[in-house]
């Protein structure tokens, strides 16, 4: 094998890195297709709630997922090791003259490794989230079907439970709508109150600024008070007369 300071050693490392990157690219494409087809197949079987539906953890797609995950992790580990060897080569004394070009090449391979690692973990996380969700939904559907397949009393109870659940949901929606209307009304009243205060403040400012207008407003207020007193007195006298006439 060529020594760590030779250009042949560097080219061998670059060749290994490119080969591993190509393999990883193909594996990640297949891995992504597997996860997509897994989700689609689960959606297609969602309506099938019979006991003959195979368990998710024992499906062929799960085994393929586990196998491909291990293979991709091994390729990532190999590519990481090659990148580490390339980093060691750039620090060798004989590579100092070409260090800038070597570092550029090394950084490019590191970026590719980082992108592949991120893509793998993202796809794997999505797959596991879908599988966990489908496991939960499958368990719930199986429990519901088992409960429904019981006696007529159980079926009746199930129907009543579902109706009550729907009624509660409708009540929640109605309550939310009522609260929204009340909040909107409160905001509108607050806004109108602010406008009235602003108008009153402007009127008071105008009255203070023009004494004639202020005197006119005071006269209007006095006349209103006088009219109110006269009207109250008339109503009181009429009421007394009606009472005297009624008890006469």
User: In the chain, what's the furthest Cα-to-Cα distance?
Assistant: 134
The pLDDT tens digits of the residues spanning 46-84 come to 545 444 444 444 478 888 888 999 999 999 999 999 999
The pLDDT tens digits of the residues spanning 92-130 come to 766 555 677 888 888 999 999 999 999 999 988 888 888
The residue among 103, 109, 102 whose CA lies nearest residue 18 is 109
Q: Is the pTM of this model over 0.75?
A: no
Measured from the Cβ of residue 35, the count of other Cβ atoms closer than 10 Å reads 20
Q: How many residues does the chain have?
A: 248
Enclosing H/E stretch for 46: none
**CATH code for the part of the protein at 2-40+57-150:** 1.20.58
* Whole-angstrom distance, CA of residue 50 vs CA of residue 56: 14
Residue 248, classed as helix, strand or coil, is coil
Read off the pLDDT band of 41 (50, 70, 90).
low
Q: Phi first, then psi: what are they for 96, rounded to 5°?
A: -65, -35
Q: What is the pLDDT of residue 194?
A: 77
Q: 157 versus 224: which is more confidently predicted?
A: 224
Which sequence spans correspond to the domains of the chain?
2-40+57-150
* Whole-angstrom distance, CA of residue 171 vs CA of residue 173: 5
Q: Are 9 and 3 in contact (CB under 8 A)?
A: yes
């Amino acid at each position: 094998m060529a020594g760590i300071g030779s250009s042949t050693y560097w080219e061998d490392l670059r060749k290994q890195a490119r080969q591993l990157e190509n393999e990883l690219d193909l594996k990640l494409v297949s891995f992504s297709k597997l996860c997509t087809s897994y989700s689609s197949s689960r959606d297609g079987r969602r309506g099938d709630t019979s006991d003959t539906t195979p368990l998710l953890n024992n499906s062929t797609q799960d085994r393929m997922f586990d196998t491909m995950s291990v293979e991709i992790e091994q390729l990532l580990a190999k590519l990481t090791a090659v990148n580490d060897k390339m980093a060691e080569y750039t620090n060798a004394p004989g590579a100092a003259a070409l260090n800038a070009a070597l570092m550029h090449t090394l950084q490019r391979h590191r970026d590719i490794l980082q992108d592949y690692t991120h893509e793998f973990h993202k796809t794997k996380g999505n797959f596991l989230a879908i599988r966990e969700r489908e496991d939960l939904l499958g368990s719930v559907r199986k429990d519901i079907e088992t409960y429904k397949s019981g006696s007529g009393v159980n079926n009746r109870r199930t129907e009543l439970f579902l109706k009550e659940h729907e009624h509660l949901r409708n009540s929640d929606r109605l309550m939310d709508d009522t609260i929204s209307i009340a909040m909107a009304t409160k905001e509108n009243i607050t806004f109108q109150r602010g406008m009235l205060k602003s108008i009153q403040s402007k009127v008071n400012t105008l009255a203070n600024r023009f004494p004639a207008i202020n005197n006119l407003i005071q006269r209007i207020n006095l006349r209103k008070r006088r009219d109110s007193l006269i009207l109250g007195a008339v109503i009181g006298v009429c009421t007394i007369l009606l009472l005297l006439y009624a008890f006469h």
